[in-house]
Structures are given as C-alpha cells and as structure tokens.
Amino acid sequence: MMETSNPAAPASGSDDDRDLVLMRRIAEGDEVAFAELVEIHQHAVLGTVAKMLGNATEAEDVAQQVFVRVWRSAPRYQPTAKFTTWLFTITRNLVFNEIRRRQRKPAVSLEEREEENFGTLSVDGEMKPDEFALHAELETAVDAAIQRLPEKQRMAVVLRRYQEMAYEEIGEILGLSLPAVKSVLFRARAQLKEDLQKYLDG
C-alpha cells in the first residue's frame, strides 16, 4: 500500500509551493497541470528508478506507474510533507516491489546490464577513445556495485548521490531515523569502496 502520510510539515519554498498548486489543479482533473508536473519531476524519478533497477526499459515502466499513482491519488493528497518526499515514497514502494518481483525471475546477465549502461552514457566530444572506454567501464562498475547493495542501502545512496537529498528527507522516504540513515549510508559507502577499490587505487 502506498504511504502518503508523514508527520513532517510542508516545506516553504517556491518549488514546493509550485508543486502544491499543480496538485490542487490535478485533483480537479487538470491534465495540463499533470503534464507540467510530470515534465518537472520525470527526470529525477526515471533516473532514480534506473539506478535502482539497472535496466532502462523496466525503469520507464516503473516511472510511468509512479505518475499514474500521482494522478489517481491527487484527489486524496494532503500536503503533510514536501511533495518530493511523497513522490519518492511512491517511487520507493514501486521500486521495492519491482526488485522483489525480479528476485523471483532469472537475473539479468552482466552483458545485458553493460549494454544498458553503455546506452545511457553521455559522451564528451573531447574524450579520447581510451578515456571513453575507461569511463564506460567505471560507470558500469559503479552501477553494478550499487546493484549489489541491499535495497534500502541502494535507495539511500541513489537519493543522496544522484538526487542530492538531505539525510532528513531520505529518512522520511525510507521510514528511518536520522541516525539510521547515516548508518545505512556508512555501510553502503564502505561496501562500495571495497567493491571499487581497484578503480580508487588507479
């Protein structure tokens, strides 16, 4: 079940105010407002899901489900926390469900994962071929190392590293206390450092 309540107060600030206005319009069936909200947040949601699942195609499907939930839940939405906290709580729930579903299926091969990661790399026009190959290898290694983390550690790392979220918001999304968030991230970083040691040494 999607968690939509949180004891934290709504954050002040133009971005959150904008999102709340859009959600009120969406609650009234405003499809233009919904399209605007999706445009604002789809990159962050899709990027997070892709890093969590390691598969671009499946990430698009899950991200679409996230925004379907937003549309359907809009009439009942209560701004008891930042909109992004609520949005990424939905994202967390659907991603964790997908991870558990995938655990009952054969794992994606390393070759397939490398192909997915290679396709999402941005190419610097000044990058030499050998530098690009090393960059691609490093990106693949980082993504694979993140994939090996337990799901809560994985989500905490993705939200902190790629979405630059504060510890407090990560805690709200994952249902963890602030000390627990710091502990989860400490363990995750230690594991990533161990997995990527050869690249750090280089």
Average model confidence (pLDDT) for the chain?
A: 83
Domain that holds residue 60: 1-105
Give the pLDDT of residue 137.
Answer: 81
> Distances in Å between the alpha carbon of 63 and those of 50, 57, 158, 201?
9, 10, 15, 36
Condensed to tens digits (0 to 9), the pLDDT of residues 85-119 reads: 999 999 999 999 999 888 776 554 444 444 444 33
pLDDT in tens, 29-45: 999 999 999 999 999 99
pTM tops 0.75:
yes
pLDDT at 183: 97
CA dihedral 148, 151, 152, 153 (to 10 degrees): 10
Give the model's pLDDT for residue 132.
59
DSSP string, 18-82: HHHHHHHHHHTT-HHHHHHHHHHHHHHHHHHHHHHHS-HHHHHHHHHHHHHHHHHHGGG---SS-
Q: How far apart are CA 58 and CA 41, in angstroms?
A: 18
Number of folded domains that form the chain: 1
CATH of the domain at 43: 1.10.1740.10
pLDDT score for 75: 96
Q: Is residue 171 part of a domain?
A: no
Orientation of helix 178-195 relative to helix 167-174, angle to 10°? 100
User: How much is the pLDDT for 117?
Assistant: 41
* Residue 68 pLDDT: 97
Residue 14 belongs to a domain:
yes
Residue 17 lies in a domain: yes
Question: What per-residue string of b and e applies to 83-98 under the rule 16 or more CB within 10 Å gives b?
Answer: bbbbbbbbbbbbbbeb
- Whether 145 is covered by a domain: the verdict is no
81 within domain boundaries: yes
**pLDDT of res. 10:** 43
Whether 133 is covered by a domain: the verdict is: no
37 within some domain = yes
Q: Contact 89/4 with Cβ under 8 angstroms? A: yes
User: Reduced to 3 states, what is the DSSP secondary structure of residue 145?
Assistant: helix
Closest of 155, 41, 40, 38 to residue 95, by C-alpha: 155
Flag residues of the chain having pLDDT under 70: 1-13, 105-135, 202
Residue 15 falls inside a structural domain = yes
